[in-house]
Every structure is written in C-alpha cells, then in structure tokens.
Structure 1
Amino acid sequence: MTISKIYGIHQLYIATLFIGCSDTTLGILKTAGRPSAPIPIHIAPTTTHITTQSDEILKQNLKKHVTYLSQTIGPRNISDPAYYQKLCQSAQYIDNAFKEIGYQTNIITYSATYRGQKFDVQNIEVVIPGSIPMSNGMAIKNSTHTESIVIGAHYDTVCFSPGADDNGSGIAALIEIARHLYDLCMQLEDKTTIKRTIKLVAFPNEEWPYSADDQTGKHFGYNMGSVQYAKQAKEKSEVITGMISLESIGYFSSEPNSQRYPWYLSWLKYLYGDRGNFLMMLGDLSSQPFQKKWLACYNQIDAGAMHAIALPGWIPNVYRSDHGSFSLEGFPAFMITDTADFRNPHYHQATDNIATINFTLFTKTTKDLIATIQYLALDGPLKT
C-alpha cells in the first residue's frame, strides 16, 4: 500500500484517536448580558516594543491556575449541590482572573437541568475588539458585525476528578492568552492594529452526562455552555470565522509507547510516533481552511509540534468537545488536545491532579498558542 493511500485512510479514521473530554453557599456571578459593543481596551502611550512575560512567570501563572482549580476547588460539575458550589467557585475564580488582568467581563447566565434539578450556570466572556469592517459597510467597532475568532475552554470536570489536565490546563492557558492580549493592546501604537476581534470564553457543562439534554439524553443539549453561546451567535448573525477549543493540553510524555492508538489503527505510530510529545488539532471538513490558516501561523513558531486533521462530521468523536457546538451551527471550529486517554492514564480519574502536568512543556505549548493567536489578531481577514 502506498504512503498516499495510507494517509487517505488515516484522514478518514483518525478522529477515533483524539477524544476530547466529554463523558455535571457561592453566589452566582452577576449577569451582564451580551453587550452591543466590545469590551473596551484602553491603549497606553505609543511604544515600539511589545514586551512579554518571562517563561518562568508564565509557568508560575499556569501552575497557580491549575493548582487552584484542581487542588483548592477540585471536582466541579452539576451532579449535586456540593459539586455545583465548586463549579460556581471555579466561575468566580475565572471571572476574577480576567478582571485582575484589566478586562470587563461579560457573564451570560442560563439554566441547566440535570436529573430534574435546575442549576444557574455561566459562560464567562471577554472581548478584544478588532477593526476589520464587513464588506456591507457595518460599523467597524461593533463586535457583533466584525470578523471574530472565539477561543474557548470548559471549566467543569467529570465526577470525582480534580481535572488538572481536563480541563484545568485549557482554562489556565485561556487566562494567560487573555493576559498577553491585554498587554499587547496596551502597547500597540493604535487600536486599529488589532484587526480581528478575539473572544475568549470559559464554558460550563462540557462533560458527559452534564452536557446531555435532560429529556432526550443526547449530547450537545442546552446544558452545554458552548451550545448556548454558539446558538446565540448564529441567531445574531455574528461572523465567527473560527473557533478553537483548548481541551486537555498539559499532559506530555517522551517515554516510548506513551502515545497509544486503537488496535485497528496501530500502524499510525509510524506516522506520529509512539511518544506523547505533540498536540493534535481535530475538526470537521469545514474547519480545514481555518486549520491551514492556524498552522501557517503556528509553524512559524514551532513547526511540526502540532498535527492537523479535518474529517467528515459523521465520524465518531470528531465533535467530542466544545468546538462541536460551533461546527453544528455552521462555524469553522476545531479542538487542540494532547489526545486525552490515548496518552494520559489519569484521564477522567481521581488521579488527574497537579503532579501529572508537565509544566515545562505546558508552558512552551501556551507560549506557542499565544504567539499564534497574536498573529491571527494582527493579521488581515480570513473572509472578504
């Protein structure tokens, strides 16, 4: 069999490898509703040099976030009132982290139902406004009518798991991406330099069974924060040219055979190797142009450290995380993952704790994500 034929088969079936993380007194955050204009960013006096925090500071910040979410708070979901309080505590932590950076946060509260009991939960959003006008001449500074990219991560966990990797790592990276973009805005010569609106969103209820419709049991029910967000965006005709779900990105291993594959796809180790030292992008076929745009930026920073797969949406597990909510509404979307249980033996276990995170590689990964997102924020439009 030729390499091209092998690659074709690999393109068709690889989605089964890269599973996301879906299998649910503190006060509720105050709801602000979705604003008609972006959250304002105040630009500091002109400077010609963009500074970034050191690797060590970034590493310390990431560790602080993951430690608080997984160790101080622990399991967080809507399985019962006690875990629900921890979910609310997590939401408050994320909201406070964004505010401490300097953002005004937008809290979108909705009601989720699990086993007949209702819980008020929150999507937590910050917006960095861009300047790309739509071709129909709509207002430049209205985030609803400018091209935007959504970067999201879920903050809930499965029952009993402290969720350091799944998904404390995704939330920690999201907060540090927000910090860098804020610093970037403060130092750019003028705000029109930020060309593409970036929306950073923390979602609840990605994990199964809390993500399911309480009546039908189907995944991608209205319990999911990303479903709520994506449907609202579609109803408002928002122009989301890409969504990225940060999904378990902190577990790495350089040990032989640390990267596993299903038995019927065991030959894939000859393409990707048997060491769990890479990240994977996975989305449906409509995400492929956006994946190419992402990789064109990412590979300028760390070529070959991330693989990209675009597959038909009907293949199992292509929509295994929050990106699926956006894909199902017609928005290009993919997840970035460390491949979860095909690498991490602590996936969805009580042992998914702070000690299992490789903070050296997680810091490097986050730096690469930050740099790529900066390229996208400063670059021209994906749509014309």
Structure 2
Amino acid sequence: MAFDPTPIRENLVQHVDRLAGLIGPRILAKPESISASIGYISSMWQAMGYEVREETYKSSDGSATNLVVEIPGTSADDVVVLGAHYDTVATTPGADDNASAVAVLLETSRLLKDVSPGKTLRFVSFACEEAPYMSLGSMGSQYHASQAKLRDEQIVMLCLEMVGYFRNEPGSQKVPETIPKFLHWLFPKRGNFLAAVGNLNSWQLSWAFRRGFKKASRLGLFSICLPEKIHEIRRSDNSSFWDQGYPALMLTDTSFLRNPHYHQPSDTPDTLDYDAMTQVTQGVASAIQKLARC
C-alpha cells in the first residue's frame, strides 16, 4: 500500500500543535490537561470511525486511563500492539516527548483503518509512562500488558517513544553510557535515523519490522537488540511488555542521546522535523501490515 505523504505531514503538525502547543504539560496533578488529552485523542479516533475504549486503572496518584482502539483480525488472540504514552513530566510541553509519538500513533491508525488483518491490530495511548510512575509500578503499559497476559493474548509490541527530533550534523548522536567503549564504532554519529531497539528475545520481531519499514520509508533505520542490563533500553513502555515475556521494540529518535530539549520547557512543536516524522509514519504503517499479515 502506498501512502500519500501530504495529509500525513499536515495531520502530524496538527496533532503535535494541539497536544504540546495548546494543552502543554500533561500530568495527573493537572487533571484538566489529562482530560483535554483524552478528549483530543478520542475525538481523532472517533472521527476515523473507531470505537474508543477507556481502560481505567488505579495508579499511585489515583485513577488513570489508557485509550484503546482495535481492528479485529481473523486470529483474535494474536495481536500487534502499537503504543505511545500521552503524558509528560511537569516541566515540559512535551512536543517530542511524547506528542510526536502520539501523532504517529494516530496517523498510523488512520492509514490502516480499512485493512483486513490476520492478526488483531491494537492502537493504545498509554497513561503514566513518565516518572515517578515507572518506579512505582503505576504505568498504563504495565497494566495493559499484565491484563493481556491474563487473557493469554499472543502479542508483539511496537513502542513509539520520541520520534520527532532529527539532526544531520556530525557528532549530533551520542552512544549510551552503558555500551562498552570498544563497541562505540558500531553506532551512528549523526542523529538522522530512527532506532528500533529490542531486547534479546525480540530479534525476530526486529528483523520482520525492519523488512516492513524499509518497504515504505527512506529514513535511516538503526536496528539493534541488546541485553536488558543496558538500562537505557528499558526507559519506556516496551519494558512493560518485556516483563510479561512479550517481544517488543522501542522505536525512538533516541531521546536524550540526541535531543537537547528532553524534559525541558524548550521541547516545543517548532523543534521537530515533520518530514522525517512522515517517513516514520509511512515505515511503521508498512511494517505493521507485514507483522499483522494484512
């Protein structure tokens, strides 16, 4: 399936502007910001023709809500999950972290709305990914993944985590501190790629995702599977699915390893590269088609 890039880019700009520009910091301590975020994401999905399910659970700071839509597959218990958290830390409007990912989530779900998948497609916008909820076990993705395990669902998961900041200057990409220095030469030095990061159990998913992504995207893709003792790879919702034994990839611009606006007031919509985000969206949609046997 070929995807027209023009409406994708326009919609990505709108989604980031509404979430990061209009709503701003999205935290449970500011309930109106969460309500506005839920309202916006839900309204976008409803306009596409989806039925939105609110998955509410108890976090350490009270009630929190994941938003879920699905395209049923012929194999109901085989599920491809694409997820992105919609919350921020209190100090930032969160354009890259994580409005960029929610925007790609919404656009990918729009592009795939009318497919007929073999596996069920599930699109989830998670609550409470940011600190302190990860350390307190209150993440929306932890709740969702544990409930899926109780239902005995067979899941592969793609986690969108900061996918909007790209730079081409030499030295614009850092290497995680926990990677041994003798391996640094293996890693890109320019921040002009999307990273698809898995744990060792996710290598087959990584290979299949790469093949699907490259069919539809010109953007560079750096695929790697690492031991979970490299703690940087556990810093998003993918870790919740790893903890339940599910293969999962974190799709990311590498966050603080590239973006100087990480968790800062300067993480604003004008800092993002919407052409690159369009390429991310096209590649992710193509990869999901492959993973779900569309």
For the superposition of Structure 1 and Structure 2, which TM-score range results when normalised by the shorter chain? Answer: over 0.9
Are residue 166 (structure 1) and residue 166 (structure 2) matched? no
Aligned to 1:47: none
Q: Report sequence identity in percent.
A: 38
- Residue 268 of structure 1: how far off its partner (Å): 5.7
Once the two structures are superposed, the pairs formed by residues 2-17 of structure 1 within 5 Å of their partners are none
SS in 2 for 1:261: coil
- Does the alignment pair 1:109 with 2:56? yes
Q: 1:350 to 1:268 in 2, by over 3 A?
A: farther
2:188 matches 1:259 = no
SS for the counterpart of 2:251 is strand
1:248 equivalent in alignment to 2:170? no
The one-letter code of the counterpart of 2:170 is P
Deviating beyond 4 angstroms after TM superposition, the runs of 4 or more aligned structure 1 residues are 262-269
1:271, CA displacement in angstroms? 3.1
Structure 2 contact 194–221 (Cα < 8 Å) conserved? yes
Cα–Cα, structure 1 residues 367 and 75, in superposed 2: closer, same or farther, change >3 Å?
same
Distance 1:59 1:318 in 2: 28
Between the aligned partners of 2:6 and 2:235, the Cα distance in structure 1 is 33
1:206 and 2:153 equivalent? no
1:309 pairs with 224, 232, 236, which one?
A: 224
- 2:133 aligned counterpart, secondary structure: coil
1:280 match: 195
CA distance in 1, matches of 2:210, 2:134: 30
Cα distance in 1 for residues equivalent to 2:157 and 2:104: 15
Q: State the structure with more CA Rg.
A: 1
1:1-384 aligned within 5 A? 52=3, 54-78=4-28, 80=29, 83-114=30-61, 118=62, 120-132=63-75, 143=76, 146-182=77-113, 184-185=114-115, 193-213=116-136, 221=137, 223-240=138-155, 242-261=156-175, 270-302=185-217, 305-378=220-293
In structure 2, what residue type is equivalent to 1:243?
A: M
TM-score of the superposition, structure 1-length normalised?
Answer: 0.72
Alpha-carbon distance in 2 for matches of 1:176, 1:129: 18
TM-score under structure 2 length normalisation? 0.93
In structure 1, stretches of 5+ residues that fail to align are 1-49, 133-142, 186-192, 214-220, 380-384
Q: Unmatched 5+ residue regions in structure 2?
A: none
- What amino acid is aligned across from residue 125 of structure 2 in structure 1? A
Work out whether residues 152 and 245 of structure 1, in 8 Å CA contact, stay in contact via their aligned partners in 2.
yes
Q: Supply the distance in 2 between the matched residues of 1:375 and 1:348 (Cα, whole angstroms).
A: 34
Which whole-Å CA distance do the structure 2 matches of 1:310 and 1:154 have between them?
22
Larger strand share, 1 or 2: 2
CA change 1:272–1:303 in 2 (3 A) is farther
